[in-house]
Amino acid sequence: MDISVSFSKTRPPPFSPSLCRQLSLRPNAPQLLRFSRNNGTFRRKPPPTISRPNKLAVTAIQISNLSENEDDFVLEDVPHLTDFLPNLPSYPNPLQKSQGYSIVKKTFVSPEDVVAENVVIQKGSPRGVHFRRTGPREKVYFKPEEVRACIVTCGGLCPGINTVIREIVCGLNNMYNVEDILGIEGGYKGFYSKNTMMLTPKVVNHIHKCGGTFLRTSRGGHDTHKIVDNIEDRGINQVYIIGGDGTHKGAALIYEEVKKRGLQVAVAGIPKTIDNDIAVIDKSFGFDTAVEEAQRAINAAHVEVESVENGVGIVKLMGRYSGFIAMYATLASRDVDCCLIPESPFYLEGRGGLFEFIEQRLKENGHLVIVVAEGAGQEYIAAEVHAADKKDASGNKLLLDIGPWLSDKIKDHFSMSRKMAVNMKYIDPTYMIRAIPSNASDNIYCTLLAHGAVHGAMAGYTGFTVGPVNSKHAYIPIARVTEKQNKVKLTDRMWARLLASTNQPSFVASDQERVEKEIMNI
């Protein structure tokens, strides 16, 4: 949605004393200035006509670096219960009387506060997409004594799920005095096929110290009508859904059905994926823990291969379609010689191939360590075993095991073609990594996610997910995090940093050269 004027209450940049004298400004005071693109200078300009889109207050004193038509600010808003229940009453936020929040200088987030999707822009370029900032609002749309909330976890495991569950329960109870909180057991199908449990701060007090999910989980089992029927029958009016891409697609369907029925039910998502492949947000919870735990496996592989002649260690890490864990674990380790991820095709034989690189490193160092994401090289294995495409209950393609396949290929190549014995060491820590409790960094992050979801639901927002965008937490429309997967960009600096760190070949460029040569020889 395009917005014609700047509405955020923004403090101007510090102007030099000479510029202040030139424009007759008071230093460090907000001013209404317009940047001129023609001559690159600031000049006074009368304030624009103020419109108030999306019920957001507009300030009269602000800095605006916009084009003449001022048509380059976009707010991607999230739904609100009053969109389909216009007469819904509001109430003062109980945090006004909170002992904890009484020390906060600004207790409530202004409706004008937004978070920019892109913070690095060029002078004169459009300001782009923004999202609502998370946090408590001055008005809420639920009476605490009338709230019946529920929490459900879906999909695979990830460090930090229990922390999110705990902090939703404690946040609802300690901040908003909500006492009726249900835990849905066993994923989406738990709404209609499992019993629920009552959740209190005492019940969840220690669960953050354990891995897995206290509520148990499952894949699939999503039946929108049955789920919403159960929500309606039980009198649930706040639904907190913890899960990844497929889970959020289900959450969007639940929101649409709730809206269709005109129910006062807030649907809030908390994005979860160990692969860090959720779009828009900076990273998913559990990712830091996964990278940290991956170091143990890489270190073990490095110790093993250093201790033998021609040692080759392979560590397989999670990363179905996105190689973020493998990339960051490689950068953090400094003991990895080569990193293979789904986004970067590689090949084994020929000039610039993996076999040539391994032979070179063995001659130089006597050993090497390879980190491979589980989704890498799938096309090569499939071509050999002629495997049919199969999917799990969540609709994810079942992957072939790249680790043993690559280990056998390397061993066979050097023993048969090079008459050279190599000592293969293969380590697969994937399920160990995702089953551990979250570390300190992820515990803090999970708390912020949980509190953001609670504040949003109490304020009447629905059909949203919560996450950090450029280090500031925001409410994001569910459609934005399910429309595509976040993947490693081979043209970005982070992948370039990895190539510089490992000094491995850029298989993409080499493969293109190889194909071009083959075409020329035809």
C-alpha angle with apex 267: 177 to 151, nearest 5 degrees? Answer: 60
Reported in sequence order, the residue ranges of 216-299 that DSSP labels E, i.e. its strands, are 238-243, 266-271
Same fold, 73-284+438-482 and 287-436+489-521: yes
Interval 363-376 mean pLDDT = 96
CA distances from 2 to 71, 77, 127, 431 (A): 7, 11, 11, 45
Whether 67 shows a pLDDT value over 90: the answer reads no
- Other C-beta atoms lying within 10 Å of the C-beta of residue 234: 14
Query: Bigger pLDDT: 104 or 25?
Result: 104
Interval 228-247 mean pLDDT = 96
**Going by C-beta distance under 8 Å and a sequence separation of 6 or more, which residues neighbour residue 493?**
none
Q: What is the pLDDT of residue 33?
A: 38
- 173-182, 342-351, 433-442: segment of lowest average pLDDT: 342-351
Binding residues for Mg(2+): 245
Question: Bridge-partner residues for 115, per DSSP?
Answer: 131
Q: What is the pLDDT of residue 329?
A: 97
Helix and strand numbers, DSSP H then E, in the chain: 15, 20
pLDDT averaged over every residue in the chain? 85
Binding residues: 156, 219-220, 244-247, 273-275, 318-320, 374, 431-434
Q: What is the pLDDT of residue 153?
A: 97
Q: What is the pLDDT of residue 69?
A: 40
So what's the architecture of 73-284+438-482 in CATH?
Answer: 3-Layer(aba) Sandwich (3.40)
Whether 148 shows a pLDDT value over 70: the answer reads yes
Whether 141 shows a pLDDT value over 70: the answer reads yes
Closest to 272 in 3D by CA, of 460, 453, 402: 453
Q: What is the pLDDT of residue 14?
A: 43
Q: What is the pLDDT of residue 125?
A: 84
DSSP H/E element including 107: none
Whether 41 shows a pLDDT value over 60: the answer reads no
Helix (H, G, I), strand (E, B) or coil at 129: strand
- 309-338 pLDDT per residue, tens: 999 999 999 999 999 999 999 999 999 999
Q: What is the pLDDT of residue 7?
A: 40
Interval 63-83 mean pLDDT = 70
Q: What is the pLDDT of residue 120?
A: 87
Residue 161 carries which side chain, given as an amino acid letter? I
- 140-144, 275-279, 342-346, 419-423: segment of lowest average pLDDT: 419-423
> How deeply is 187 buried, as exposed, middle or buried, from its count of CB atoms within 10 A (0-12, 13-18, 19+)?
buried
Tokens of 61: 């004193």
The percentage of the chain sitting over the pLDDT mark of 70, rounded to a whole number, equals 82
* Contact present, 458 and 142 (Cβ < 8 Å): yes
Residue 181 carries which side chain, given as an amino acid letter? I
Whether 58 shows a pLDDT value over 60: the answer reads no
Q: What is the pLDDT of residue 179?
A: 96
Helix (H, G, I), strand (E, B) or coil at 474: strand
What are all long-range contacts of 359-363, with beta carbons under 8 Å and residues at least 24 apart?
359/414, 359/418, 359/420, 361/337, 362/310, 362/312, 362/422
Residues constituting the chain? 522
- 17-21, 166-170, 194-198, 403-407: segment of lowest average pLDDT: 17-21
- 44-58, 71-85, 86-100: segment of lowest average pLDDT: 44-58
- Other C-beta atoms lying within 10 Å of the C-beta of residue 417: 11
Whether 202 shows a pLDDT value over 80: the answer reads yes
Query: pTM here?
Result: 0.82
Whether 84 shows a pLDDT value over 50: the answer reads yes
Topology at the third CATH level for domain 287-436+489-521: Rossmann fold (3.40.50)
- 53-57, 308-312, 448-452, 464-468: segment of lowest average pLDDT: 53-57
* Contact present, 261 and 226 (Cβ < 8 Å): no
Query: Bigger pLDDT: 188 or 122?
Result: 188
Computed over its alpha carbons, how large is the radius of gyration of the chain? Answer: 27
User: What does the H/E/C string look like for 402-434?
Assistant: HHHHHHHHHHHHHHHHCCCCCEEEEECCHHHHH
Separation CA 370–CA 326 (nearest Å): 10
* Structural domain boundaries in the chain: 73-284+438-482, 287-436+489-521
For CA atoms 237, 238, 242, 245, the dihedral sign is: positive
Tokens of 403: 């680790």
DSSP H/E element including 468: strand 464-469
The percentage of the chain sitting over the pLDDT mark of 90, rounded to a whole number, equals 70
Interval 12-35 mean pLDDT = 40
Whether 273 shows a pLDDT value over 80: the answer reads yes
Binding residues for substrate: 273-275, 318-320, 374, 431-434
Whether 47 shows a pLDDT value over 60: the answer reads no
Give the phi and the psi of residue 145 in degrees, each rounded to 5. -70, -15
Interval 134-142 mean pLDDT = 96
- DSSP state for residue 156 in the 8-state scheme: S
Whether 17 shows a pLDDT value over 50: the answer reads no
Buried b (16+ CB within 10 A) or exposed e, 397-415: eebbebbebbbebbeebbe
* Contact present, 165 and 445 (Cβ < 8 Å): no
**Residues designated catalytic:** 275
Separation CA 82–CA 26 (nearest Å): 42
Whether 122 shows a pLDDT value over 70: the answer reads yes
Whether 382 shows a pLDDT value over 80: the answer reads yes
| DSSP letters for 23-78 | HT--TTS---EEEETTTTEEEE-PPPPP--GGG----SS-EE---TT---EEE---
* Cα end-to-end distance, the chain, whole Å: 53
Separation CA 34–CA 92 (nearest Å): 38
Binding residues for ATP: 156, 219-220, 244-247
